[in-house]
Amino acid sequence: MKPGRVLLTQAQIHARVRQLGQGVSRHYRGQPPGQRPIFLGVMNGALFFLADLLHAVDLDTEISCVRLASYQGTQSTGRIRGLGVLGKSIAGRHVLIVDDILDTGRTLSALARRLKKLGASDVKICVLLEKRRRHEVAVRPDWVGFKIADEFVVGYGLDYNGRYRTLKQIRILSKN
């Protein structure tokens, strides 16, 4: 298995992330003063997206990360590992979850639920990619970079068993 056809170029990704940054900034600027949003990156996949998005927003933010994993190879295991690794008080805060891709929806719905339980007063979701398939769990992201076909992609943070995260483009994983 290796990276095949380029789905999104570096220029396309950067242009879209800039637009997302503007939309996110507009939204949080409209919130009552004193509410500094926490940008919560889901590691490792959202590493580059989180950094680029933060560069594209013009806001007073805080940054935090969680590490979650549900995939082995190209298959969702259905189990989310690592929930709860959050070294920050979430109670009463506005949290923006930043993730690489929405696929089955399990990861993001579990995380959003967990944040609400921890007392977050508002939870929003920003994903770079959303797969055009019926999500197994209902999740409505507030910002989506690109809707893509139901294929396994790598690059710009997205891995295949730990590889290909540092590719500058997003490519479709191919058998040959």
Residue 103: active-site member? yes
Length of the chain: 176
169 binds, among Mg ion, ligand 5GP, none (CB under 5 to 8 A by kind): none
Which stretches within 38-120 are classed as H helix? 47-56, 106-117
* DSSP code per residue over 116-137: HHTT-SEEEEEEEEEESS--SS
Whole-Å CA distances, 14 to 18, 24, 53: 6, 15, 9
Q: Which of 60, 99, 103, 150 is catalytic?
A: 103
The reply on whether position 171 binds ligand 5GP by CB under 6 A is: no
Least distance from C-beta 71 to ligand 5GP, angstroms?
Answer: 5
Q: Applying CB under 5 A, which residues contact Mg ion?
A: 42, 45, 100
Least distance from C-beta 35 to Mg ion, angstroms?
Answer: 26
- With CA atoms as reference, report the closest residue to 131 among 111, 110, 153, 109: 153
Least distance from C-beta 152 to Mg ion, angstroms?
Answer: 13
Chain residues that interact with ligand 5GP, rule: CB under 6 A = 42, 45, 70-71, 76, 99-107, 152-154, 158-160
The residues carrying an active-site annotation are 103
